C-alpha cells in the first residue's frame, strides 16, 4: 500500500516550527550568496523550500526581490562597456519591436479564444512581451487589476521562467549558438530579467552582456505599453511607473568605460551583483508556493505556455538565420 506525504494545514510537506523554518531559510540564503551556488540551483532550492518548509518571510518577498533585482542589475553595469552595449542595442531594435508587438497581438486574440478574463490575459501577454514580473507590477495598477488577476499572471510567468532557466542553456549548446545569438535569444524569449541574466551567465560573459543590455532596453517598453493600457482600459487617473534603475545601470556602464579607477573595482562589484541575482532567483522560487501554483488555472497557463513557445521559436529562428 502506497503512503502519501504528510502535509500540514498550509499544504507543506514538512511540519516544522517557525524557528526551524527561519534557520533553514537563512542557511539557504548563505549558500546562495556563496561561490558554490548557480542561478539554476538557487531557483530549484527556492522551489524546494516553498513546497517543503515554506517561506518564513513571505510577506516581505515581493519587495525584497524587486529591490534586490534592481540593485543587482545596476551592479552588473559596472562590468559592461558602453560601445559593446550600444552595438547590441542597435542589432536588437527590430527584433524588439517585432517580438513585443507580435506577442501582444497574438496574446489578445488567444485570450479571447480561450475566454480568459481580459485583464488577466493582458497582464500575461505584457509579462511575456516585455519583462515578466516588472511589467505586470507596472501595468496592474493602471488597469486596476485585482489581486487574484495579478497572482495568476505572476504565477504563470514565474513558472515558465523557472523552466526557461534550465532548458535554454541546454538548447543553446545543442544548437551550437554563439554567445551573441544566445544572449539575444534569452533577452527576447525569457520573461523576467533575473532569469534572463541567470541563463545567460551560465552560457558565457559576452552572452551575459548582450542579454542584459537588450533586456533592459526592452524593459523601457513598459512605458508606452502602460500608456496604451490606460487607453484600452479607460483609466486616465493612474501614474505610469518608470523603471529608473535602468538609468543607474547606464551610468554604471559609462563609469566603467570611461573612469579608470572604477574599472579596478568593477570585478568585485559585478561579483556581488551576480550573487545578488542568484539570491533573487532563490527568493522567487521560495515564493512559488502550492497556493500560488494552484491559483494559476489551466486556461491562463495554457495562454502563457503557447505565447512563450511561439515567441521562443520565432525568436530562435530569427536569431539563428537573420541576426
- Residue 189 pLDDT more than 50? yes
Which pLDDT belongs to residue 220?
Answer: 79
Q: Work out the average pLDDT over 164-185.
A: 93
Minimum mean pLDDT among 4-8, 172-176, 208-212, 229-233: which range? 4-8
Task: Report the pLDDT value the prediction gives residue 218, as an integer from 0 to 100.
Answer: 83
Helix locations, 115-146, DSSP H: 118-129, 133-139
pLDDT: which is higher, 64 or 6: 64
Q: What is the pLDDT of residue 85?
A: 73
- φ, ψ dihedrals at 176, nearest 5°: 55, 45
Q: Looking at residues 87-101, what average pLDDT do you find?
A: 79
| Banded model confidence at residue 241, pLDDT cuts 50, 70, 90 | low
CB 89 within 8 A of CB 68: no
Identify the pLDDT of residue 237.
58
pLDDT grade for 284, boundaries at 50, 70 and 90: confident
- In tens, the pLDDT along 78-89 reads 888 887 777 766
Q: Looking at the predicted structure, is the pLDDT value of residue 242 above 70? A: no
CA distance 16 to 19: 8
pLDDT at 4 over 80: no
CA 287 → CA 54, 63, 80, 158, distances in Å?
A: 8, 12, 31, 10
State residue 305's pLDDT score. 92
As given in the structure block, the three cell numbers for residue 195 are: 532569469
CA 125 vs. chain centroid, Å, equals 14
Lowest mean pLDDT segment, chosen from 86-90, 192-196, 240-244 = 240-244
Q: What is the pLDDT averaged over residues 206-225?
A: 86
**What pLDDT, on a 0 to 100 scale, did the predictor assign at position 1?**
40
Going by C-alpha positions, the residue among 12, 46, 13 that lies closest to residue 28 is: 46
Per-residue pLDDT, averaged over 134-155, amounts to: 81
This prediction has a pTM of: 0.77
- Residues of the chain above pLDDT 70, percent: 91
The whole-number pLDDT of residue 239 equals 63
Which of 15-19, 87-91, 203-207, 230-234 comes out lowest in average pLDDT?
Answer: 87-91
Rounded mean pLDDT of the chain? 84
Q: Of 117, 66, 49, 27, whose CA–CA distance to 290 is shortest? A: 49
Q: Give 198's contacts (C-beta < 8 A, 6+ positions apart).
A: 39, 40, 43, 165, 277, 278, 281
Amino acid at each position: 500500500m502506497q503512503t502519501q506525504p504528510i502535509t500540514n494545514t498550509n499544504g507543506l510537506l514538512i511540519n516544522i516550527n517557525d524557528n526551524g523554518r527561519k534557520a533553514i531559510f537563512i542557511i539557504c540564503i548563505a549558500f546562495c550568496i556563496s561561490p558554490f551556488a548557480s542561478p539554476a540551483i538557487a531557483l530549484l532550492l527556492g522551489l524546494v523550500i516553498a513546497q517543503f518548509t515554506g517561506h518564513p518571510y513571505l510577506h516581505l518577498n515581493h519587495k525584497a526581490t524587486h529591490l534586490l533585482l534592481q540593485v543587482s542589475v545596476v551592479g552588473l553595469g559596472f562590468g559592461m562597456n558602453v560601445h559593446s552595449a550600444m552595438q547590441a542595442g542597435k542589432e536588437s531594435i527590430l527584433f524588439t519591436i517585432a517580438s513585443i508587438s507580435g506577442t501582444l497581438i497574438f496574446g489578445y486574440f488567444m485570450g479571447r479564444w480561450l475566454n480568459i478574463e481580459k485583464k488577466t490575459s493582458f497582464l500575461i501577454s505584457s509579462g511575456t512581451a516585455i519583462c515578466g514580473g516588472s511589467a505586470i507590477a507596472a501595468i496592474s495598477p493602471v488597469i486596476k487589476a485585482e489581486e487574484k488577476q495579478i497572482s495568476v499572471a505572476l504565477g504563470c510567468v514565474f513558472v515558465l521562467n523557472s523552466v526557461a532557466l534550465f532548458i535554454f542553456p541546454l538548447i543553446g549548446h545543442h544548437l551550437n549558438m554563439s554567445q551573441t545569438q544566445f544572449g539575444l535569444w534569452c533577452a527576447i524569449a525569457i520573461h523576467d530579467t533575473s532569469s534572463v541574466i541567470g541563463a545567460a551567465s551560465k552560457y558565457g560573459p559576452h552572452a551575459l552582456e548582450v542579454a542584459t543590455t537588450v533586456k533592459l532596453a526592452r524593459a523601457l517598453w513598459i512605458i508606452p505599453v502602460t500608456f496604451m493600457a490606460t487607453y484600452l482600459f479607460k483609466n486616465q487617473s493612474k501614474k505610469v511607473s518608470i523603471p529608473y534603475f535602468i538609468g543607474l545601470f547606464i551610468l554604471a556602464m559609462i563609469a566603467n568605460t570611461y573612469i579608470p579607477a572604477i574599472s579596478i573595482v568593477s570585478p568585485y562589484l559585478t561579483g556581488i551583483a551576480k550573487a545578488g541575482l542568484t539570491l533573487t532567483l532563490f527568493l522567487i522560487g521560495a515564493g512559488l508556493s502550492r497556493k500560488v501554483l494552484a491559483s494559476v488555472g489551466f486556461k491562463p497557463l495554457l495562454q502563457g505556455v503557447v505565447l512563450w513557445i511561439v515567441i521562443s521559436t520565432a525568436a530562435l529562428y530569427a536569431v539563428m538565420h537573420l541576426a
